[in-house]
Structure 1
Amino acid sequence: MSRRGLLRTLGTGAATTLAAACGVPAAYVAPSDRSRSDLSATDKRLTWANWPLYIDTDDEDESRRPTLDAFEKRTGIEVTYTEEINDNDEFFGKVSPSLMNHQETGRDLMVISDWMCARFVRLGWVQEMDRSRQPNVTRYLDPQLRSPAFDPGRGYTVPWQSGITGIAYNRRTVGREIRHVSDLWADDLKGRVTLLSGLDEAFALLMQGNGVDITKWTADDFHTVCEQVEKLVRTDHIRRFTGNDYIKDLSSGDVLACQAYSGDVIQLQADDPDIEFVVPEEGAELWSESLMIPNLARHKANAETLVDYYYEPSVAAELAAWVNYVCPVPAAQDILASAKDEETAALAEDPLIFPDTAMRKRLAIARDITAKERTEFAKRWNAIAGL
């Protein structure tokens, strides 16, 4: 099972949690109230919250995490690593009471999806990182990920891993190439197409199919997509809306084409080379899940040191070889290419880990949904998707 597949299984209460999370009143925290005395110099430890299956593990001992073990040995910083993030909204609901009430969360570092990072940044719930402690981030961060609209210059967030939302299909059973979003609506695919159920996961690719620049999409663009999808639902063209269970549908042949994540498809291709991942001609969404330091974290400098460690190309390469998402450190490609193991070296040529120039031209980071837009848009989309 992929990491995203597991987190969807674990996060079955997300809809309930979302309602609870949205009920938490927003409480902006001014910059002067975000920090507390840093204990890093004398207290060599930190606590890091991440998603399941999102770091390298030892093949013979899954309790060992080679890159993290090496960091602890090198720096003397003890890391308490927790795989507690199963859903963005669920985690928001878990930490928001502390953050809005100017209390410590008990975490020094956390990884959440950029659309949720945008909410934390807007609320002033995370601290700006000190780039003087992060020369690797400054030097090696992928230029295409350096300045999203919600965090220009990436002062508050640093991508952990990235990925692409595109189209997956079985080339053998479809019998032709899929190159455009509109190809999903061909008559012979009726009833055998799925879309992602989450608003933030689904909307950008569908807009791109309409020729929209997703870096500056409008409410009209959103409602146009909704009207199109509503019609496809009424005519039974769309089989259903999914989390990561599209993986099972695509593998079994129940679904011929679907909206999908690049990292999942790499794993599917190991078992079925006929499964293809497509970045449509109109483009696809490039997204990230990013590291942030929450307000009042007591080991900020230690956390900044760890973030920078994972931007060393050799470390980023080791991580990329295990998680198989888009690596935010392009310089890691040469490290993998020089690997003695042929299977590892082949990863350097995989455009779903290191997108080539042609693919990059079709990738864009969508502007996030604003707080004002979210209630209205989520209500309409969730009604369509049956959430």
Structure 2
Amino acid sequence: MRLIRVLFTLVCILLLTVPTVGRAASDELRLYIWSEYIDPAIIESFERETGIKVLIDLYESNEDMLAKLQAGGVSQYDVVVPSDFIVPILIKLGLLQPLDHSKIPNLENLDPQFLNPPFDRANRYTAAYQWGTVGLMYRRDLITSFKGTWSILFDSKQQVGPFVLIDSQREMMAIALKYLGYSANTTDPAQIKAAGELLLQAKKSRYALGFEGGVGGKNKVLAGVATAAVVYNGDAIRATEEDPNVAFVVPDEGSVIWVDSLAVPARAPNPAAAHKFINFILDPRIGAQLSNFNRYATPNAASLPMINPEDRSNSAIYPSPEVMKKLEYILDLGKDLRLYDEVWTMVKSR
């Protein structure tokens, strides 16, 4: 009799646990994304409409995301949000799977300039999420004679208070290169080395507070701990609404323009849910809600009529033609990227 009860109990346990495993596989989506980069209400709407529970992990740099995927995250997450310049690396390493366009009909809503991008021809692996710039966020109440150049970081005579550098290799290197008058994508070893020396000099300044993700730099400026920080424009725009003494600018020497995209890791546990999520984000209404929340520019042409009018006219979000001329996309440099890796390692370790 005891044996029968034991067997009955085991059968009940199996009946209860097997469906649970099945639900976990089909009813969960694991999203790996930058912090403060999606409206929680969008997540709630997706869960409500699909019955799929979204679990979120956060990162602060493309390098962190890449390392996590290589360390096993490729089979842990269903959707990641890489920046343009790192997409070719993810593809070459076999960390992304091709998208099934038949499951993403809203892909057609993207503006033509974000279809067939140079870093992912025919959008085989990615769909544009948001785009923006990297610039300088600063306190107008603490910097009263700002001249609109990156010299506030790189010229000891122009430094007036604590500042934060952005902890993103290619973007921070690009800013140093632009300050020196070089291309953000140069492959000249001497120019890359000069940019590294400039960054090292800035890092060792008595005013330097080190390297942080864009959100970390933004928070230090808001708190008054830093007078300036290199940040993403959307982070800065939200900060200006919290404190009118905070401002954002793309300095005169220029900076970088970027596109972040949605992608599915090569061994994602739930690619079906991933495709549903990508298609959901590309819905015109959701795309507008996303940009109205995080204050970055939308790549979704069908969303533009629903963007807040004040944001559409804000040149810090949608740069003027004059500013656009000063911006460069960061490109995949193939084998020449090792030059950047070597210099960045030197800067961070000394």
Bin of the TM-score, shorter chain as denominator length? 0.7 to 0.9
* 2:52 counterpart of 1:82: no
Which of 7, 13, 32 is matched with 1:50 structurally?
Answer: 32
Contact kept in structure 1, 2:43 and 2:54, CA below 8 Å: no
Contact kept in structure 2, 1:47 and 1:106, CA below 8 Å: no
Which of 191, 198, 213 is matched with 2:183 structurally?
Answer: 213
In the other structure, the counterpart of 2:129 is 160
> Map of 1:150-189 to 2, 5 A cutoff?
150-184=119-153, 185=155, 187-189=157-159
Secondary structure at the residue paired with 2:307?
Answer: helix
Q: Partners in 1 of 2:182 and 2:112 — Cα distance?
A: 24
Q: Partners in 1 of 2:295 and 2:53 — Cα distance?
A: 24
1:99-127: CA deviations, max 9, x gaps?
A: 8xxxx815433223444433211122322
Change over 3 Å in CA distance of 1:159–1:298 after alignment to 2: same
Contact kept in structure 2, 1:193 and 1:237, CA below 8 Å: no
In the other structure, the counterpart of 2:263 is 292
* 2:244 counterpart of 1:273: yes
Q: Percent identity?
A: 21
Stretches of structure 1 that go unaligned for 5 or more consecutive residues are 1-42, 59-63, 338-344
Secondary structure at the residue paired with 1:159?
Answer: strand
* 2:291 counterpart of 1:327: no
Q: TM-score, normalising length from structure 1?
A: 0.70
Which of 216, 221, 228 is matched with 1:257 structurally?
Answer: 228
1:256-298: CA deviations, max 9, x gaps?
A: 3332221221222112222211112332212233211222446
Secondary structure at the residue paired with 1:240?
Answer: strand
> Map of 1:1-387 to 2, 5 A cutoff?
45=27, 47-51=29-33, 52-58=35-41, 65-69=43-47, 73=49, 77-87=50-60, 88-96=62-70, 105-141=75-111, 143=113, 145-146=114-115, 148-184=117-153, 185=155, 187-190=157-160, 192-233=162-203, 236=205, 238-244=207-213, 245-297=216-268, 300=271, 302-337=273-308, 345-368=309-332, 370=334, 373-374=337-338, 377-386=340-349
Q: Partners in 1 of 2:284 and 2:186 — Cα distance?
A: 32
Change over 3 Å in CA distance of 1:50–1:256 after alignment to 2: same
Q: Partners in 2 of 1:109 and 1:189 — Cα distance?
A: 41
Change over 3 Å in CA distance of 1:46–1:119 after alignment to 2: farther
Q: Partners in 2 of 1:183 and 1:332 — Cα distance?
A: 37
Contact kept in structure 2, 1:142 and 1:329, CA below 8 Å: no
Q: Partners in 2 of 1:240 and 1:298 — Cα distance?
A: 40
2:318 counterpart letter in structure 1: F
Bigger radius of gyration, 1 or 2?
2
- Alignment: residue pair count: 321
Alpha-carbon distance, 1:383 to partner:
3.6
